[in-house]
Amino acid sequence: MSLSEYYRQRDRAPSSAPGHAGPVLVRREAPDDVDPIDDLHRRAFAFAAPNGAEPVEVALVHALREDPGWVPALSLVAEGPQGAVVGHVVCSEGALGDTPAVGLGPIGVRPDVQRSGVGRALMHAVLAAADALDYPLVALLGHLDYYRQFGFVPASAMGVLAPDPAWGDHFQARPLAAWRPALKGAFRYAAPFEAL
C-alpha cells in the first residue's frame, strides 16, 4: 500500500467508539504539551488526591523537568486523533549504586480512554527508548498486576533494593539489554521523588 493510500484509508476510518482513544501517536513531549500534560495528570490522578486537591504528580513532572535527571527522550505523550494529549509517561535518571538507571513515573492516561491500550503503547515506547539509551534497567513503584505484562519483576529478585523497604514487591524493575547480574544494590530516584 502506498503512503498516500494509507492516509486516505485512515481518513475514511470510522470515528472511535466512546471510551476508546482511537489510533494514538506516541511521540516525545514538545514545549506546547506542558499545559495539556498538567491537565492530563490532574484528571488521571484525581482519584488519589483528597477533596479535589491537586494531585502531586502535576508538580512532580514540573520538578523533574528542572532536575539534572530529566531525559528529554524519555518524556512521551500519546496523542489522540484530534491532537489531544490522552496519555503521558516519563522516566528520569536516578542510579543503581554508581550506575545511571531510570525510574518510571508518573504514567497517566485520560480516564475516559483508559483500558483501551494507551498505557500499553506508552509503556512499550518508553521501555524501548530507555533501552536504546543503554540504561540497564527501569525501576518503578506500582501495581503488581499491571506492570508484569511489560517484563517487570519485583526488584528484590534482581538484587535491586527499594528506597523504602516498606514498598515490598510493589517496587519493580525491568532489565534492559545493558543489564548485568553484577548490577545490584540500592536504587535512587531523581531528587524530586524524594520530596514526595
Ligand X SMILES: CC(C)(COP(=O)(O)OP(=O)(O)OC[C@H]1O[C@@H](n2cnc3c(N)ncnc32)[C@H](O)[C@@H]1OP(=O)(O)O)[C@@H](O)C(=O)NCCC(=O)NCCS
Please give the residue ranges that form the binding site for ligand X (CB under 6 A). Answer: 44-45, 107-109, 114-120, 142-143, 145-146
What does the alpha-carbon distance between residue 33 and residue 77 come to, in Å, rounded to a whole number?
8
What does the alpha-carbon distance between residue 126 and residue 135 come to, in Å, rounded to a whole number?
12
Residue nearest to ligand X (CB): 119
Minimal distance, residue 8 CB to ligand X, in Å: 28
- 110 or 188: whose CB is closer to ligand X? 110
Minimal distance, residue 176 CB to ligand X, in Å: 20
Minimal distance, residue 106 CB to ligand X, in Å: 6
Minimal distance, residue 100 CB to ligand X, in Å: 23
- 114 or 156: whose CB is closer to ligand X? 114
- 16 or 99: whose CB is closer to ligand X? 16
